[in-house]
A and B are shown apart, each in its own frame.
Chain A
Amino acid sequence: MQKDIKRLSLILLFAPFALWIILLIILPHIGMVMLSLREKVAPRVYEYSFANYLEFINEPIYWNTLLRTGSMSLLVTALALLIGFPIAYYIAKIAGPRARGGLFLLCLIPLWVSDLIRSFGWILLLRETGVISNFLLWTGVTGTPIEFLYNDAAVIVGLVYTVILFMIVPLVSTLDGMDNSMIEAGYNLGGNGFTVLRRIIVPYAMPGIVAGCIVTFMLTAGSYLTPILLGGKNSSWFTEQIYNQFITRFNWEGGAAFGMLLLMFTSFVIWLGLKLSGQTLANTVAKS
């Protein structure tokens, strides 16, 4: 009797989980794989083939865009880590207890503002008639208005801005858990700042670093708004290709293949990152 109740409650708890994962994650992805392998041979007649993937390989614009998206995403991830780590360290270890909460809160607030508004803010700052250009004119640094928008640098600044908080938050939570005496011990044993950083702090913060990098990379590679709004017509971001296939050209088969390629690519990078750092998904992303 008691055992039956336990089993029943387990089944009842498992049901929502299973429905969610099967209906909204697994089946849709199977459907997307099937669709991506379909080729239109005549109106309303389809055959299974790799034609959509071959089109990707045969058209340099497509794979160039994917490689570009991937390499810029890696660059953004690296920049976010480099810029964000000292900030996270400051919040977790150097700021006083009062300032710590306040600074962390300041970091969290932009997190809840949508990508659209953040990109919009950057447009207002960077464009020819924008704040920075006007400021430079006013100070006399330059004589003519400068257009900072619609180039790769603007896209990178905007992307780093969008994702850096997803880097800082997990870093702060892991560094918070580190005992200060570990750092002091490192110094007492004769290590200098750099050795302590390399041999003690970074290894300890590894789960946070990996979690931050995974989420940051995934968000960057999958972002749509920031590259398009800040990069203009030549942003060549891969999500834009997917959108064009789906919505503009109504080529769902091709779009599904592109979606699969992006998914395989990001999964591969995440898998590689986990393998190289010796971490798992459960002890990094699931903790943050």
Chain B
Amino acid sequence: MKLFEYEAKEIIRKYGIETPKGVVVREGDDIRKAIESSGLTPPLAVKAQVLVAGRGKAGGIKLVNNVDEAVSVSQQLFKTPIKGIKPSILLIEQAIKHDAELYAGIVLDRAERKPLVLVSKYGGMDLEEVAREHPEAIIKYYVDPYKGLRNYEARILGKQLGLTGKALSSFENFLQALYRAFMDYDAELAESNPLALLPDKVLPLDLRIIIDDNSLFRHTEYAATEKERLGELSEREIAAREKDLAYVELDGDVGVIGNGAGLTMTTMDLVYEFGMKPADFLDVGGGAEAEHIRDAVEFVMSDPKVKKVFINIFGGITRADEVARGIVMALKDLGNKAKPLVVRLTGTNEEQGREILKEVGITPYSDPLEALQALKNL
């Protein structure tokens, strides 16, 4: 789960890190009053709180020179979709004059299975761009998760960025805090870009934290506001989430349902291979029960752009009879709204599954390629 910038900054402040003075305003708030009572003095930065990458470039951050301008720009931002998403929250901050922009981030490295700290003198650009244009300027440092990131390690990294004196010790504190926040909040990513360099300190102008969704049971304060942050998702994707379906919307017309991400992705690839276009990726996951399958089939068939549906199941922990029962339930519920369907069904409890489907006139395939050919001929 991506946190909003203002939330990430709230977290880092808990670790004693200074952030630019600011105020959060929501649609309908008295913006002028909010700015005045927070004691902010222009110039200000008005920043749309949207969870998309490249927000600045897309026009989501505006610099203003007085309060009047801040109010009008804010009102305008509330109406302006940034990469398709209309912000409902803004962060208005003191604009900070600074000498240089750094990058500091932490991710989990798959190969080493350790936290990886990335720092660079090239802040302000996105890291992929830096990786492409100045690969040598990204300093990588693996942290031993048992030892944690120690002060001296943060200091060595700061030195490598050319920092000295007070700015060096401020950077040391910042990186330490970022690491602790990364660990305490089960983050997949914690980064500041840009991290402003001032003569005597560093200051995170932007801050991003992504919490691992699987850990949300430990971070219930964010789980409660999940709906506010579904910015990147389409309406159907949001609806799918509410039904607990792992669904990605695509633009073709063949509904794709599979079990397991690997098989479902492959099914999608194969639909293309046979000259058709998938309308979605829907992975029913491992061990899906009949009700879950019913929901999945009904959800895909209710998509107006779906003309036909392909279900590809290879049961392991998932049982073919449960799948078949779910399909039958969905077809009954949908009645004449049901769309043409090809089922490939094999694996655990395959025989029982076939019997259940045959009762409603569906003959499932066991060979996926034959099934795809049948789908194409449909």
A and B, one complex? no
Q: Which residues of B contact A (CB under 8 A)?
A: none
